[in-house]
Every structure is written in C-alpha cells, then in structure tokens.
Amino acid sequence: MVTSESAAPEAKGPASGSRALGGHASGSRASLPARPETAPTLREHALIVIRHAITTGDLDEDTIYSAAGLAKQLGMSLSPVREAMMSLVAEGTVEAVPNRGFRLVPVTREDLEEIIRIRALLAGPAVDALCARASEDPAASEAALGDLRTHAEAALAAAHEDDTIGFMTADRLFHEHLLEHGLGRRAADISLRLRDQSRVFAAHSIAAIVDAESAQQIVDLVGLIEAGRSAEAQALVIDNLFYFRRTENL
C-alpha cells in the first residue's frame, strides 16, 4: 500500500513494510503500468498510474495519502504527482484534506447506479450512431469495428486467463473507443471520468473483476453493431455497463 499521512513524515515516503501499489511489497513497482513511449508529460503519467491504483482498490477510501508519499512510491518527483492529485480533486474522484494530504471521495451503491445511468445515456447513442454508420457505409466502418473488435477479443482472452490487469485495460479501452468512435473524444473523456469515479472493480472480488461473461458481451456487441442491429446493441451495452449487479453476491 502506498504511504498514508499517518505512517511517516511526508519527506520520508512510505513506512517500512508498507504495501506498494498493486499489492507488492514497498519498493517493488512490478504491477505499475509502464510509461508509454509517447507520454507527453510526467503529470499525465502520474495520473494514469494513480487512476490504476484507485480502480484496482490499491488506494483505500479511509486512508489519507500524502503527495510526497505517493511520489516516493511511484519513483517520481513531487510536482507531477501533486498536479495529478489536484486534477483528481477537480473531477471529484479525490478530495484534499487541509495540511494532511488527499483521500478518495466515498462512492455508495446509489452513486454507482447514478454514474452508470449517465454513462448509459452516452453509450446508447454512441452505439446507435455506429450501427447507422455500419448499415449506411460498411466499408467506412471497417476501421472502427476492427479497433473495437481488437479490444473486445483482448478482454475476452484476458478473462479466460484470469488476467485481471489485462482484462481491466482492454475493457477500459473498448468502452473508451466505443464512445470516441460513436460520439467523439469529449464524450469518451466524460464517460472515462465517470468510470474512474465509480471504482467498480475495487468494490468486488477478483472473481467478479475477471468476468468472462462481461467480456463475451462486448465481443457480441461488436457483431451487433456490424450488423446494424441498433436496438439489440443498445440493450446489450447498457446491460454490460450494469454488470456489477450480477456480481454483488460474490
């Protein structure tokens, strides 16, 4: 676990023996996403890594984290990590605790339902637009459908291999690109921000996270879009967004 404010003074980073991001011992960063070769800024890389930790539950709602402790754990300088945390504050995922650090904004089941209802309002029209495009000009839709199929099949393969990180990454990319191809970049950004706030994956067991049924749904969704079957595709994408309801008792 990364350092909380109660462990040690900020400048000293994580306490001895504390759990690192991804569940590894302090000092190990094996599970952290590799920095993309084209990463524009350190702040954006810090934001990617911290989002990953939030989504997987490596950051706890009840713990206050110092920017210095997070920076030490990530092996990064303080400024980009602090800037990343302030970005998360601005979008409502994290709140600042004066003179202490940052903590996650709690998410209730009611919050989760509301967030996914909003995401569904974007996903439905995105799917409808893609279906219309596929029916009107199949050739022009090939690139978008190929992109979606790649991520859907990657999610399914990861689910069958019990690869939690691989599944999460591919599933996130699929839903991001679905919105981007259907409605545009702004819609994708809004949906991703809401997804990160919901922390669906952190709320359930590993068995729920690696969900082969959910992965199969998005593979099937690409087929429905390609066939132009809008009503069925919209119903399926909404059911997929609410998949956590199927896993609440796990």
Say yes or no: 98 and 113 in one domain. no
Among the candidates 54, 79, 104, a domain finishes at 104
pLDDT at 6: 42
Say yes or no: 74 and 118 in one domain. no
pLDDT at 22: 42
Among the candidates 104, 134, 157, a domain finishes at 104
pLDDT at 145: 97
pTM beyond 0.95: the answer is: no
Residues 119, 128: Cα–Cα separation, whole Å: 14
Say yes or no: 48 and 156 in one domain. no
Cβ atoms within 10 Å of 133's Cβ, excluding its own: 18
pLDDT at 19: 40
Say yes or no: 100 and 113 in one domain. no
Q: Which domain holds residue 214?
A: 109-247
Residue 200 burial by CB count (10 A; 0-12/13-18/19+): exposed, middle or buried? Answer: buried
Low-confidence ranges of the chain (pLDDT < 50): 1-3, 5-31, 34-39, 203-207, 249-250
DSSP per position, the chain:
-PPBTTTS-GGG-SPTTPBPGGGPBTT--TTSPPPPTT---HHHHHHHHHHHHHHHT-S-TT--B-HHHHHHHHT--HHHHHHHHHHHHHHTSEEEETTTEEEEPP--HHHHHHHHHHHHHHHHHHHHHHHHHHHH-HHHHHHHHHHHHHHHHHHHHHHHTT-HHHHHHHHHHHHHHHHHHHT-HHHHHHHHHHHHHH-TGGGS-HHHHS-HHHHHHHHHHHHHHHTT-HHHHHHHHHHHHTGGGGGTT-
Among the candidates 104, 133, 159, a domain finishes at 104
Say yes or no: 228 and 115 in one domain. yes
Q: Encode pLDDT of 6-41 as tens digits.
A: 443 444 444 433 344 444 433 434 445 544 444 458
* 157 in a structural domain: yes
pLDDT at 157: 96
